[in-house]
Amino acid sequence: MAVRHRVIRRSPGDVWAVLADGTRYADWVVGTAAARPVHGRWPEVGSTLVYEVRLGPVRLANRTVVRACVEGRELELEAHAGPLGTARIAVEIRPWGDDSLVIIDEHPLRGAGGTLHNPAVEVIIQVRHRAMLKRLADLCEAQDTAGEAVRAAPVGPPAPHGPGPG
């Protein structure tokens, strides 16, 4: 199993907001060029989105189905990859101080992906997860750019100006 984690400098609710937006799936899932929800209300169990993978001129359409969801904490997906089969992708969000610890766990379920799964494939999945978690962190943390500047500004009236000790 390929398991990878990252601390994201945002609250679990902020991270969940990105995961719960099916239209943003392609923004953080590496290898996905476009995605859109097509069935149910993402990310409710059973809801589905279709996504497109582009390899040069070749375009492959597949789907991802939500298999389990604990709002704000866990999202388990079954990603269909055509002839490669399916994979389980679980994303867990844990509070980590003021931040979030995000854990991605992926393994093949059915098809050629399971048959071909080996340590070399694990390395590729780990590299993909590192990139996915970076994209997710960038999306979540970018939402805070203005907020960080506001929180860093002094609060209250300015300090009085006058002669200092002399």
166 residues of the chain, pLDDT tens digit each: 688 999 999 999 999 999 999 999 999 998 888 899 899 999 999 999 999 888 778 888 899 999 999 999 999 999 998 888 898 999 999 999 999 999 999 888 888 777 777 777 778 788 888 999 999 999 999 975 443 422 333 334 444 444 444 4
Q: What is the pTM of this model?
A: 0.79
Determine the Cα–Cα distance for residues 115 and 68; give it in Å rounded to an integer. Answer: 25
Q: For the chain, what's the residue count?
A: 166
Residue corresponding to tokens 């393994």: 107
Q: Which residues of 88-123 are buried (b: 16+ CB within 10 A; e: fewer)?
A: bbbbbbeeeeebbbbbbbbbbeebebeeebeeeeee
